[in-house]
Amino acid sequence: MSNTEKIDNKHRDTRLDLIKAISICLVLILHIRPVRIISEDTLGYSGIANFILDQIYLISTPLAVPLFILTSLFLLIAKLQSTGIEYCINRCKRLFEIFVFWTTIHISIYYCISFIQSLWSHTTFSWYIPNLQIYQLLSGTSPPLPIVGDSVFYFIVVLIVLTVMTYYFLKIKSHNIKNNIALSLIVLSLVYFEILNVTGTYIAYWRLDNFIVYIPIAYFLFNQQNERIRKKYVLLLYLCFFVFGCQDVLLRSYHVNIGLYARVSIVCGALAVFTSCTNINSLKSNQIVIFLSKFSLGIFAIHKYYLYILTIITVNLFSILGWSNSVLIMGLPIDLQAVFNALPTIILTLATVHLLSYSSLQKFVK
């Protein structure tokens, strides 16, 4: 580790590093789903276990992106208080550069996959991307890749817009007006999310209205950062997370199409985790946590590509060798292919990010 890196690590907030490390771990779990139960029986032992595991994924892993956004806005507010418009412009420029870079990589990989598929299937390669709308490209969700789905770079587009919105929100001079707007936004957003879910009105995961609520939340958290949020309020947040999470499970069991992020449970859960971490009095620096936090962007950007490659390899390997897709563990048929994909995907992603951190491309992974 260089002297510059040692100085940088000394000035890091280990609590915020922990939040970002938790977030990127949840992202990996959300997309990789390393533990899966293969079961068509809905009422038996394996069926019930599969249902419980599925609900755990549904309730917990979507906390990742809101936690990232909440942490990012919290740090943004601190910077804007001291630097103002200059930092806002520089931040938007940097985010735009990152978006253009990774979107270009993503589209290039899409065309590479399409070209290989055309060779494999003896069909004509086409530069045309089916059903692609301009807004999908600009929103950072398209084009989708086979198996692993949409692009993840909607997150960067959302951050750019939220950065501008936060700057103008902080420009309001009256603290009373600002506090009233912030409180109103939180209440209205929670009511809006609840109405959406109970009526089965789904909104796309990349839409801005999933995340505007985190501007006022970050604002209040920043203003209260010197006063530890009392433990009973944190416990109340976890209780709300659990109660509304149970509501999500119930709605889903009745085939109600609930949102990925537009849920009261997700807001409460993100806030509970954030406040739990920031309430820690003393947290020793940990190199693994620092690495996951510092290079969360690179991990976020790269992991799906390795997941795609390894899924193709694993499926064909199991087919050639005639291996069973499942193995019984404690009487549960565990998906072996998912297990085989998980560890190599994580190792290759971390290794690639580590190598890129020493290259001229390091600004695109940290």
> b/e map of 264-275 (b: 16 or more CB within 10 Å)?
bbbbbbbbbbbb
Phi–psi pair at 327, nearest 5 degrees: -140, 140
Give the tens place of pLDDT for each residue, 223-239. Answer: 886 666 677 789 999 99
Q: With bands split at pLDDT 50, 70 and 90, how would you rate the model's confidence at 323?
A: confident
Asked if 239 contacts 265 with a C-beta cutoff of 8 angstroms, the reply is: no
Which residue is it, tokens 């899409």? 110
User: What's the confidence (pLDDT) of residue 348?
Assistant: 96
Share the mean pLDDT of the chain: 89
Residue 7 in this model has a pLDDT that exceeds 60: no
Residue 119 in this model has a pLDDT that exceeds 80: yes
Residue 124 in this model has a pLDDT that exceeds 90: no
Phi–psi pair at 335, nearest 5 degrees: -70, 110
User: What's the confidence (pLDDT) of residue 130?
Assistant: 66
Residue 114 in this model has a pLDDT that exceeds 80: yes
User: What's the confidence (pLDDT) of residue 90?
Assistant: 93
Three-state SS for the chain is CCHHHHHHHHCCCHHHHHHHHHHHHHHHHHHHCCCCECCCCCCCHHHHHHHHHHHHHHHHHHHHHHHHHHHHHHHHHHHHHHHCHHHHHHHHHHHHHHHHHHHHHHHHHHHHHHHHHHHHHCCCCCCCCCCCCHHHHHHCCCCCECCCECCCCHHHHHHHHHHHHHHHHHCCCCHHHHHHHHHHHHHHHHHHHHHHHHCCCCCCCCCHHHCCCHHHHHHHHHHCCCCCCCHHHHHHHHHHHHHHHHHHHHHHHCCCCCCCCCCHHHHHHHHHHHHHHHCCCCCCCCHHHHHHHHCHHHHHHHHHHHHHHHHHHHHHHHHHHCCCCEEEECCEEEEHHHHHHHHHHHHHHHHHHHHHCCCCCHHHCC
Give the tens place of pLDDT for each residue, 42-83. Answer: 677 788 888 888 888 989 999 999 999 999 999 999 999 888
Region 83-87 average pLDDT = 86
User: What's the confidence (pLDDT) of residue 6?
Assistant: 46
Region 184-194 average pLDDT = 97
| pTM for the full predicted model | 0.90
Residue 208 in this model has a pLDDT that exceeds 90: yes
Residue 23 in this model has a pLDDT that exceeds 90: yes
Residue 5 in this model has a pLDDT that exceeds 50: no
Residue 3 in this model has a pLDDT that exceeds 50: no
Q: Rounded to whole angstroms, what are the CA distances from 11 to 16, 189, 237, 345?
A: 12, 35, 30, 31
Q: With bands split at pLDDT 50, 70 and 90, how would you rate the model's confidence at 282?
A: confident
Q: Cα(294)–Cα(8) distance, rounded to whole angstroms?
A: 10
Residue 164 in this model has a pLDDT that exceeds 90: yes
Range with the poorest average pLDDT among 15-29, 41-55, 267-281, 315-329: 41-55
Residue 104 in this model has a pLDDT that exceeds 50: yes
